[in-house]
Structure 1
């Protein structure tokens, strides 16, 4: 039950070459490879999507950092930075830039799995920033996220390495603990984040429009997971191996992350914006008074 065999036969996750059997598990259908300047590039469509994700995430990080008075600015920037690193590592691994036969592949894969869990964990902690258990931007808020995220990264990466190398109770033929972390733990953190934000919007905000951002972000993420884990083989065969579930999974994950940014932006306002907006009625009133003076 707690195995990646069926998943890896459907979609080429980064850990699939390292588990199940000594030579890993290949999907039944995967995106065709491309020879680029003498280098065999796997998943070319996914590579393009990952590059787009890197560019868009960099723009979001820059936008977050320019909102100097927004609530939770530094905390949410950590999430986007972790997502950026996750996409970058995934791009290196799934496209064969780091070959599966390389001695470094297990280490980079372990780091990638660690970043996946850490990104989910960081998003969960950002979900509690709005409740102001600790004031945003303070050392206790920032360092609690940094330390716990670092602990999460190290734990998952070490579990992954132990699984790939059959250390102690960890075994690549039955990677139960790694499966639980990858699906149950990460899934639970995302579910708790979604529920906490629904509670935040409904009970603490007067504007209910951010609910749409939460709903669309959740739908994008779920759609990507469904296409990857269920329809990848059928999709791959239908489009003659030009695409597979990895491409749509990467695209939907990017859309979900963009909705996280849109949601954060919609519930956090800068003080400067409020101060400028509050002066407009005064300016309009003075202009009307000036217009009336010639007629007095």
Structure 2
């Protein structure tokens, strides 16, 4: 069992079964799914634009845009494209930083639903985008400093058990905290504020799909790789389940917002309270 801040166990799992796949394309399935994820996210950004009265429309588009950046980087980091080591380190730094920033934006999307600040305004987008950028830069620097050995501070993490507490907190622990808080906040919003139950099917589905992806990536991956003689591993299924989780998340958000400005009584801006019309 890995200790706190240690990545050695993950490295060992990968070394037990190196992915061979197709020559020059180690993980073609992931590359194809990343392309699909980018296309689907682009479509959801367009569909979000059509929901003029929806709470958090711009914030949702910001989240989807960050997810696109994650998938672009994943093509080069997980996809196994034949690129130079220094270039791959660069993509890895951006990839990890974008993942952490995306989870932070996800959490703030839940806060947007409470209308503490008016959504879609320069202030709201500035606070979300600005704070996400700070997290992106901080995580990216630690990752790149580790890989390129700029300062030498993280050089010890390059040797087993690969202990890097800062990166472990930002890449492993922080996203887990962010996504947990997101589901708590959204569940309270739907069940207590909006007093709805149906949207929870989408939210629960998104949580289940995301969890399945992580299980395939961290637990089952080495077994799939061994069984297929290195042709595929759990990253293929992790990418697939993450795409499905993002789609389910979008449908959850869409189900609790209005497409157009309604003439009925609403619980809050953009939220429907059912067929209660003004007399």
Same fold (TM over 0.5): yes
Equivalent residues of 2:55, 2:119 under 8 A apart = yes
Structure 2 CA distance for partners of 1:124 and 1:241, relative to 1, 3 Å: same
Q: 1:179 aligns with which of 154, 157, 168?
A: 168
Structure 2: tracts of 5 or more residues without a match: 265-279
Structure 1: tracts of 5 or more residues without a match: 11-25, 276-296
Match of 2:203 in 1: 214
1:104 equivalenced with 2:87 (yes/no): yes
In 1: Cα distance, 2:73 partner to 2:119 partner:
29
Q: 2:137 aligns with which of 151, 154, 177?
A: 154
Q: 2:194 aligns with which of 196, 200, 205?
A: 205
Match of 1:225 in 2: 214
String of CA shifts for 1:112-168, please: whole Å, max 9, x gaps: 111000000011110111100001111211111111111111011011112224425
Equivalent residues of 1:30, 1:233 under 8 A apart = no
Measure how far apart 1:30 and its partner are. Answer: 4.0
Q: 1:131 aligns with which of 91, 110, 114?
A: 114
Measure how far apart 1:208 and its partner are. Answer: 1.2
Structure 2 CA distance for partners of 1:228 and 1:168, relative to 1, 3 Å: same
1:46 equivalenced with 2:34 (yes/no): no
Q: 1:192 aligns with which of 181, 187, 191?
A: 181
1:27 equivalenced with 2:15 (yes/no): yes
Equivalent residues of 2:190, 2:200 under 8 A apart = yes
Structure 1 runs of 4+ aligned residues shifted over 6 Å read none
Structure number with larger C-alpha Rg: 1
Helix, strand or coil: the match of 1:203? helix
In 2: Cα distance, 1:130 partner to 1:62 partner:
20
How many residue pairs end up in the alignment? Answer: 256
Structure 2 CA distance for partners of 1:133 and 1:69, relative to 1, 3 Å: same
Match of 1:145 in 2: 128
In 2: Cα distance, 1:111 partner to 1:183 partner:
15
Measure how far apart 1:67 and its partner are. Answer: 1.5
Measure how far apart 1:181 and its partner are. Answer: 1.2
TM-score by length of 2: 0.86
Match of 1:115 in 2: 98
Equivalent residues of 2:89, 2:148 under 8 A apart = no
Match of 2:247 in 1: 258
In 2: Cα distance, 1:195 partner to 1:98 partner:
42
String of CA shifts for 1:185-239, please: whole Å, max 9, x gaps: 1111111111110111111113211111111111111111111111111112223
Measure how far apart 1:273 and its partner are. Answer: 6.1
Equivalent residues of 2:25, 2:82 under 8 A apart = no
Instruction: Give the alignment's Cα RMSD to 1 decimal.
Output: 1.8
